[in-house]
Amino acid sequence: MDLGIKGKRGLVCAASKGLGRGCAEALAEAGVNLVINSRTEADITRTAREIAERHGVEVIPVAADITTDEGRARVLEAMGDADILVTNAGGPPPGNWQDWSREDFIRAIDANMLSAVALMQALVPGMMDRGWGRVVNITSGSVRAPISVLGLSNTARTGLTGFVAGMSRQVAGKGVCVNNLLPGIHATDRADSLDTGVAKAQGLTLEEARAQRQATIPTGTYGTPEDFGATCAFLCSQQARFIVGQNVLLDGGALNVTI
Ligand code: NAP
């Protein structure tokens, strides 16, 4: 399907690997010129080169911490005007609800709520002026069903979800569609590190821990960055113009609900 976004310009945050990279690859395949970001210079530079070579688009890497004002300023300077924004950052560490301090909550809220809000505040007004834009916030299935050990993530991402619910309706009239894309379990380094935690806590091998989590998913497999990227690119397409303020769950059917 032609997504109708060839030649658009997009920013994908936290994109040297995993879900962010999946989104960057799929947008590049659709012909979008990109700025991509992550903290480790060598990784983001290599990823940008690989994506540019594979898809024949311009990909500018910016090594910066997207959760800081300074990092975001550098990324935004490289971007200039954007038609498409994909917000993302590393997830907070697992833990116990009794142990998290105010500072832990502030860090998680900065990373997984306020950095996305700041990026939207910076880029969406320009999209509105030009009459077209797409924003996809990578959140988590944890906004639909909490993951107990990821209370910091549950908290911060639910805050972002509430913000998007309101603002997406305020900008849709100017041709800007803002939605959230909720990963269930996808095969990335983040999933490996959570599986390693489960293995340690339950005295299992990594393979056993993975098999145990896979058995909770109706598809019997984890999702992939490619699955995730394809959905993200569709949400950024011309065809998605009527999808506004939604929380699209991509979890292989793991959340057992009727709607
Ligand atoms: P991943 O494979 O570990 O990749 C994380 C990417 O983000 C890397 O490119 C990393 O590069 C970059 N990054 C991390 N912190 C950053 C920061 N502060 N500023 C800029 N870049 C940063 O993780 P993932 O699985 O793709 O997960 C992406 C997001 O989805 C996370 O928030 C995660 O919690 C959430 N999520 C994932 C799953 C899943 O199953 N994979 C499920 C639910 C939610 P550098 O380290 O070099 O910066």
Per-residue pLDDT of the chain (259 residues; tens, 9 = 90+): 999 999 999 999 999 999 999 999 999 999 999 999 999 999 999 999 999 999 999 999 999 999 999 999 999 999 999 999 999 999 999 999 999 999 999 999 999 999 999 999 999 999 999 999 999 999 999 999 999 999 999 999 999 999 999 999 999 999 999 999 999 999 999 899 989 989 999 999 999 999 999 999 999 999 999 999 999 999 999 999 999 999 999 999 999 999 9
3-state secondary structure of 158: helix
67 lines ligand 1 (CB under 6 A): yes
Residue 117 CB coordination number (10 Å)? 17
Residue 37 CB coordination number (10 Å)? 30
> Is 251 exposed, middle or buried (CB count within 10 Å of its CB: 0-12, 13-18, 19+)?
buried
227 lines ligand 1 (CB under 6 A): no
CA distance 178 to 249: 15
191 lines ligand 1 (CB under 6 A): yes
CA angle (138, 45, 74) in 5-degree steps: 65
Mutate to test the pocket of ligand 1, among 12, 17, 152 (most ligand atoms within 8 A of CB): 17
pTM of the model: 0.97
Angstrom CA distances, 135 to 28, 87, 178, stand at: 16, 8, 5
CA-proximal residue: ligand 1, atom 20 (nearest): 38
10 lines ligand 1 (CB under 6 A): no
| Contacts (Cβ under 8 Å, ≥6 apart) of 135 | 84, 85, 86, 87, 120, 123, 124, 127, 176, 177, 178, 179
